[in-house]
Structures are given as structure tokens and as C-alpha cells.
Amino acid sequence: MKRLELAIESIILASRWLLVVFYIGLGLALAVYALSFGKKLYEFMLTVFTLGDTDTILKMLGLIDAALVASLVVMVIISGYENFVSRFDDQDGTGVHWLGTIDVGSLKVKVASTIVAISSIHLLQVFLNSSSYSTDQLMWLTIIHLAFVVSALMLAYIDRLMGLSKGNKDEA
């Protein structure tokens, strides 16, 4: 019976390597998104001298938004791999020591914070172009953004409580 238990545990533990497919897929999606970003940047550069101030700001906010989304994907890929699959090797001393500092709790807070930042930029874009939106749409977009903010604050609060709780256990 113990042999069966060990075999099952080995299979379950080995299944974490299936996550690598998802992380590689996210990396490929990031490469496609980089091409999309390049296209947006190229189009912006071609029209920058013909755009008004508001349109220039809207285009730049779109580029910032894309950079935040890309950073979020990288955060998820690296932290997910490091936390759930395997540690990165630092054989050549290039300085991957910072990778191990993002645990699952802090990753959730960082992801939520990035989502709030992305939502803030999107909401700013909407407000700069508010004539294209109805009052109801503006209200709902603001409410949705506030839901992201409250969620991020709650995740940060829970992470802090868990950290305090863990600190108390370590002292005992």
C-alpha cells in the first residue's frame, strides 16, 4: 500500500511540469503582443505631428497600458514557474536572486495592483474621450474600477495579515 501511495505522490508532484506548457504559451503570447505594441508604436510615430494633445495622450496611455500588461505577463510567468515548478539556476552569477522574493501572496498583490493600474489608465482614456460614452457607461466603468481597487486593497490586507500571522508562528 505504501508503494502505491508513493507512486501516486510522485505522479502528482511530477504533474507540476505540465504548467511549463502554460508558461511557454504565455511567453509566445507575449511575443505576439510585442508585435502588436510595435505596430501601435509605429502608427503613433507616423501620426504624432498631426495629432492633437488629447489624441497624443490617449495614444501614449495605450502604449503605457500595453507595457503594464506585458509586465504582468512576465510577472506571472517568472513567479509562477519559480513558485510552482522549479527554482531558476544562477550558475553564471547574472543576478536572478530577486526571483525568489515573489511568493504566491505577494504575486497576487502585485497582479492586483497592476490590474488597478491598467484599469486606471483605461478609465483615464475613457474620461479624456468622455463625449463618446453615455453617463451610464461612465458610471459603470468607474464602479468596475472601484471594484478592482477594493479587491486589490483586500488582497494586500489579507497578505499583510498572513505575514503577521506567519511572523507570530516563527517567534513561537
CA 93 to chain centre: 27
Residues 73-122 have pLDDT tens digits of: 988 888 888 878 887 776 666 655 555 566 666 777 788 888 898 899 88
* Amino acid letter, 7: A
Task: Return d(Cα 119, Cα 142) in angstroms, integer.
Answer: 9
The structural domains of the chain, with segments of one domain joined by +, span 1-89, 103-172
Cβ contacts of residue 111 below 8 Å, gap of 6+? 72, 75, 76
Residues 29-81 have pLDDT tens digits of: 999 999 999 999 999 999 999 998 888 988 898 899 899 889 889 888 888 88
Residues 128-170 have pLDDT tens digits of: 888 899 999 999 999 999 999 999 899 888 888 877 766 655 5
Decide: helix, strand or coil at residue 82.
helix
State residue 32's pLDDT score: 97
Task: Encode 57-83: b = buried (16+ Cβ within 10 Å), e = exposed.
Answer: ebbebbeebbebbeebbeebbbbbbbb
pTM of the model: 0.71
